[in-house]
Structure 1
Amino acid sequence: MAAGEPGDLGGYYFRFLPQKTFPSLSASDTTSRLRQWSMLGRIKAQAFGFDQTFQAYRKDDFVMAFFKDPNVIPNLQLLSDSSGQWITLGTEVKKIEAINVPCTQLSMSFFNRLYDEDIVRDNGHIVKCLDSFCDPFLISDELQKVLLVEDSEKYEVFRQPDREEFLFCLFKHLCLGGSLCQYEDVLNPYLETTKLIYKDLVSVRKHPQTKKIQITSSIFKVTAYDSTGVCYPSTKNHEQTFSYFIVDPIKRHVNVLYHCYGVGEMS
């Protein structure tokens, strides 16, 4: 039986953890920023516990078991394409895709190169450029160019392995926002919000011998399919519609970070 198909689900059982909150997403600073970026009301984090030892090489079995679990089905939330309301899955998952997302970064100095390369000025202001389109995004500054335009001269500032890092993915998602995003003129709100959410979702520990801080979470970008096609995170594909599963193998928790591209709450 192929990985990711129902059958051998490895005996994982899940439970919903509604009491686990994510202060980074509910803090007033964050909510006002998410409103400006057209993501408010369209981004959500949920936590679930599980009962078996997590083995990264069996991630497909783990994710499949998650979608089949009777405690997940009525609790995992997503946005309806038709009504724009939060709903639960309501369909049987037949196949999943779970892509490994590297997560090794422990410092926001990862983004210092934006200053070094004159994408952001020393005072924090993002350098503007002539408007251009990189479908579906309007590009009006050097930061968006670095994030999106592969043939731009400064795209290489972040090499491919850098771009795959969860810290970079999170930052990029916040910078690009929802469909009525009002972009920032300065870098700091993006960095601050990225840092808060990252710290909230990712688990670290001090290595007992070396005393160095290490990240213990495993992260996957997840897509699920029912008999008609993609059903999660949405039936519509978009670079800004995503679901990340952040697995803490020590606490046996999985945090689900979800966003569906569209018009966020205005008021």
Structure 2
Amino acid sequence: MITEIEPTTEETNKIEIEKSLKNKGEKIKFNFTYLPNAKFPGFNNKETKEYFEKWGLAGHTYVERFSYDEYFQSYQIEDFLQNFFNNPVVRSVLKVYSSMDQWGHLGEVKNIQFEELNRTVTSLDFFDKLEQNGVIRSDGSIIKCFDEYTDHFLVSDELRKCILMPEFETYDIFTEEDRKEFLFHIFKSICLGGYICQYEDDIQKYFEISKLLYKDFVRVTRDNKTKKLNVLSMVYKINDLDSSISPLFPMEHPQNFMYLAIDPLNRYVTIWYHASDSYYQ
């Protein structure tokens, strides 16, 4: 039932990095170019769009891609993000949801709050523990439970209880490190849905669309010698920032999110944004 996430290419797991004369202490300014013709086969897949409508994500979410001009290393992330969000081209492209289906733009940005996510998981086998621990049945059906209210959500099945409610034992089947995995974040985001969400009774579509989206945002390669998969991309969750015009999100809510993925081989930055000013259960 659960299949491996295939790499997008058959490249080796080593990046050929140009020789740099810049020392680690020197600040580099990153410049960005918008890539309006970037392809997102998972996000723009017909079935993905249909389920985004069903899950209440459509109309409130988008993806965009940019290229950048300097070699990036992870220790530069604070400068990278400052350069990115304050770049005029980026500002003109990125939209932020305000209210009543109105969209705005960020102004001058500072005090960016972010966290780096893990990206060690490259297989949907990661979710086998859902069946092993009685969250779903062997046929993929999600086990129902009595309604509970928690953290902005009505919980009516064992899947959302596992995702959201630490007071129940199934919450611990995913460790804190598991919950930092980008694949877990994608899965959680589509399971919880948008402002009006029709939940699935079967787990399979959540798996299939998580896999499609993961391949849009993360560059995975295979080592020619070991045949092991290697994730080149770095992924960050942007939790908040100070903007001189519109805020990043209209309200604080677990389903208002922005993910930023950096592909150091192609020098791409990919953004996934979702926000709403109200959620109905």
Same fold (TM over 0.5): yes
1:114·1:120 contact (CA, 8 Å) conserved in 2? Answer: yes
- The superposition leaves residues 45-99 of structure 1 with CA deviations (integer Å, 9 ceiling, x where unpaired) of 10000000111011111011001112111111222x234234332x211221221
Which of 99, 105, 109 is the aligned partner of 2:125?
109
1:246 equivalenced with 2:261 (yes/no): yes
Instruction: Name the amino acid aligned to 1:31.
Output: K
1:121 equivalenced with 2:134 (yes/no): no
- 2:112 corresponds to: 96
Q: CA deviation at 1:172?
A: 0.5
Instruction: Name the amino acid aligned to 1:165.
Output: E
- 1:5 corresponds to: none
Q: CA deviation at 1:263?
A: 6.7
SS at match of 1:247: strand
Distance 1:113 1:16 in 2: 40
Distance 1:235 1:71 in 2: 23
Distance 1:82 1:9 in 2: 38
RMSD: 1.8
Aligned pairs for 1:113-192 within 5 A: 113-192=129-208
TM-score, normalization by structure 1: 0.90
Distance 1:235 1:70 in 2: 22
SS at match of 1:29: helix
Instruction: Name the amino acid aligned to 1:23.
Output: P
1:261 equivalenced with 2:279 (yes/no): no
Distance 1:9 1:22 in 2: 32
Instruction: Name the amino acid aligned to 2:243.
Output: D
SS at match of 2:62: strand
Q: How many residues align?
A: 253
1:224 equivalenced with 2:235 (yes/no): no
Q: CA deviation at 1:226?
A: 2.4
Distance 1:207 1:153 in 2: 38
2:163·2:188 contact (CA, 8 Å) conserved in 1? Answer: yes
Instruction: Name the amino acid aligned to 2:143.
Output: V
SS at match of 1:33: helix
- Listed as ranges, the gaps of 5+ residues in structure 1 are 1-7
1:60·1:97 contact (CA, 8 Å) conserved in 2? Answer: no
- 1:58 corresponds to: 76
Instruction: Name the amino acid aligned to 1:239.
Output: P
Distance 1:101 1:263 in 2: 27
1:93·1:225 contact (CA, 8 Å) conserved in 2? Answer: yes
- 2:94 corresponds to: 76
Q: CA deviation at 1:31?
A: 1.1
Distance 2:276 2:64 in 1: 18
- Listed as ranges, the gaps of 5+ residues in structure 2 are 1-25
Distance 1:16 1:86 in 2: 19
Return structure 1 stretches of 4+ with deviation > 6 angstroms. none
Distance 2:233 2:159 in 1: 28
1:87 equivalenced with 2:104 (yes/no): yes
- 2:67 corresponds to: 49
Q: CA deviation at 1:262?
A: 5.2
Distance 1:250 1:9 in 2: 21
Which of 36, 40, 45 is the aligned partner of 1:18?
36
Distance 1:237 1:225 in 2: 14
Distance 1:175 1:49 in 2: 30
Q: CA deviation at 1:252?
A: 0.2
1:9·1:65 contact (CA, 8 Å) conserved in 2? Answer: no
Instruction: Name the amino acid aligned to 2:196.
Output: L
1:39·1:261 contact (CA, 8 Å) conserved in 2? Answer: no
